[in-house]
Structure 1
Amino acid sequence: MYSLQGMRPRQASRSGKATWVVGRCAALCRQSEPMSETPQDALTIAAVPPKDAAEALRLVFGGLAEGQDEDYVRTIAAAMQSGEIPAAGLLEARRGPRRVGAAWFQVLAGGAALVWPPRLAPGEPVETASRLMAAGCQRLSDAGVVAANAILASVAPEEDRLLREAGFMPLASLFYMACEDSVFPEARPAGRLAFEPWRMTEQERLAQLVQATYEGALDCPAADDPRSPEDVLAGYRAAGVFSPDHWLFVRHEGRDVGCLLLADHPAVGNMELVYLGVVPSSRGQGFGREICRHAQWLARQAGRRRLVAAVDSANLPAVRMYAAAGFSVWDCRAAYGKRFGA
């Protein structure tokens, strides 16, 4: 399961159907002739002051769907100005007084980061994007980031080249899936599994169990996450509103066979299935479907309208399992990843 950490759900207002912002296409503008630089046009790259965050974010999020970009800008800019979200990773490129590019390198919990690659002003050479990427990656390295991801709606050849040159390699094509409360169980599903809430005193037990569920998993096998299990759990815990009652050991006949980690997003009426894992010896018995139905029941208990999840599109058993539980695909994104300190 690929976490939606760092991605914010949004609802469409016209059709009533749910759409979510999980990334954006960072289109790069190129010019055919190189730009000659005068001293007043010399390129500078620096962090954006929080008071100016909104203008830089409008450039960064310029590839979002119409109507969503301004909402996203207001939300993030306000959080940066209040200090809720650090603004240090929001970078801009300027030529004199003109902002000609911007990118956001968002440091997350657990040694992770989410990168919104550079967007440039019309006519700005692609070299500016390369310099923004280099500056942002240096900041991530200095901040102790171990693994960074970029999640994109589409990838132009120029952007693929930019990411690869910066050390970001393709990891997976991700399906973003959701089910509405109309398919949630009305009562607690009966089944073979027992669900035991996690407690802080059982951190090591959960870390070992999560690590065991990664063995032979089909989700993003190219990722090879270098972070420790403890860092991975810290990242999961930072996704949405955390509640220990929504982190569960899954047990069968007295032993741990898997885990279910949920995050709440009450402001938008979503529960997020952050991670669902089953140990290799217990796969192929339909446990994944039972765990998923339990997650849907918990979402109903919490009063949420939908349950959302992300899965590697190449993980066909998981895609089929979610579809059988009432999920449908609402978006597909390309995931790139970079490891630091290797």
Structure 2
Amino acid sequence: MSLRLVESRTHVVAVEKGRVTGTIGVLAQPGRVGLVFPPELDRASPAVPGALIDAAIRRLEQAGAAFAQLTLPLEDSPQAELFLQHGFSLLTDAAVLQRSLNSPLPPSARSLQSIRCDPVDDADTLGDLIRRINQGTLDCPELDVLRTPADLLAAHRAHSMNGRARWWRFEDDGNDVGIVLGTTAEDDDAWEILFFGVVPEQRGHGFGRILLTRFLENATGETGLVRAGMDVRNAFVESVYEDRGFVETGRFRVWVHPLAAPA
């Protein structure tokens, strides 16, 4: 059997006997994140799926990615088994949430100072806040050994350029409380929450709910819908979202393949 792999900007293509029998999507993203997509096959030989996955991993390693990430439907066991055989492991299930802004917002019990942030000009301040917030995080903590706060900030910034950033940090009497980093969705007029959290020394005072309410207030008038995603293991943030009127609209399974330690 003659199997040849050809690379394009976004895919690795398998060619057998002059015919394309399989493709796999692979993208190196800012923040040293690599995205891999399930292979698409057309009368391929048994060796093709594994060869495509291995080629995608090599490509991301060469690009300097810290890890490869794959998302699959919860019920897609055959694809999951294939990726397990090639170095991927289950990270978690993720929930997709949304809140319509047509219904009233709960009042904020406490006033906080909100400061609009720029993804580039305020990078140092935001990077430090992300580092502090990630201490003891319940959102995919396994990834913290693979990526740095700077990596995480770069990934969020990539989704927020060209005027799309909806980023705020919050203070209480001059003391840091937390941040909410959002962006306008590419496919519709919704806003999406990329990251939000409270610094460790301010936890336990209800600030998470206040931050989320303030973000929703800022969104009102600009959009009618706010979306978010969360690690389903994080019961606390789930309760915060639920308390602020978010509803779950779907779930998917997240798989990862470690590639390198933080730079």
1:179 Cα deviation from its structure 2 partner: 0.7
Amino acid at match of 2:55: A
Equivalent-residue separation in structure 2 for 1:138 and 1:267 (angstroms): 31
1:212 Cα deviation from its structure 2 partner: 0.6
Q: Does 1:183 align with 2:103?
A: yes
CA change 1:244–1:130 in 2 (3 A) is: closer
SS class of match (1:326): coil
**TM-score normalised by length of structure 2:** 0.90
Equivalent-residue separation in structure 2 for 1:279 and 1:327 (angstroms): 23
CA change 1:214–1:118 in 2 (3 A) is: same
- Give 4+ residue runs of structure 1 displaced > 6 Å after superposition: none
Instruction: Pick the aligned partner of 2:34 from 103, 110, 113.
Output: 113
Equivalent-residue separation in structure 2 for 1:266 and 1:144 (angstroms): 26
Q: CA RMSD in A?
A: 2.2
Amino acid at match of 1:223: L
**TM-score normalised by length of structure 1:** 0.70
Q: Does 1:160 align with 2:80?
A: yes
CA change 1:155–1:129 in 2 (3 A) is: farther
Greater share of strand residues, 1 or 2? 2
CA change 1:174–1:249 in 2 (3 A) is: same
Instruction: Pick the aligned partner of 1:220 from 111, 116, 140.
Output: 140
Instruction: Pick the aligned partner of 1:337 from 239, 249, 256.
Output: 256
Q: Which has the higher contact order (CA 8 A, sep 6+)?
A: 2
Residue pair 2:165, 2:181 contacting (<8 A) in 1 also:
no
**Matches of residues 103-252 of structure 1 in structure 2 within 5 Å?**
103-122=24-43, 124-154=44-74, 156-183=76-103, 185=105, 191-199=110-118, 200-241=120-161, 243=163, 246-252=166-172
- Mark the runs of 5 or more structure 2 residues left unpaired by the alignment: none
Partner of 1:47: 7
CA change 1:131–1:141 in 2 (3 A) is: same
Instruction: Pick the aligned partner of 1:311 from 216, 227, 230.
Output: 230
- Mark the runs of 5 or more structure 1 residues left unpaired by the alignment: 1-36, 49-87
Residue pair 1:198, 1:244 contacting (<8 A) in 2 also:
no
1:151 Cα deviation from its structure 2 partner: 1.2
Partner of 1:279: 199
Greater share of helix residues, 1 or 2? 1
**Greater shift in the superposed pair: 223-232 or 112-121:** 223-232
Partner of 2:13: 92
1:261 Cα deviation from its structure 2 partner: 0.4
Total equivalences in the alignment: 260
Percent sequence identity over aligned pairs: 25
1:98 Cα deviation from its structure 2 partner: 2.4
Partner of 1:268: 188
Residue pair 1:114, 1:148 contacting (<8 A) in 2 also:
yes
Residue pair 1:89, 1:104 contacting (<8 A) in 2 also:
yes
Equivalent-residue separation in structure 1 for 2:103 and 2:155 (angstroms): 29
SS class of match (1:151): strand
CA change 1:189–1:114 in 2 (3 A) is: same
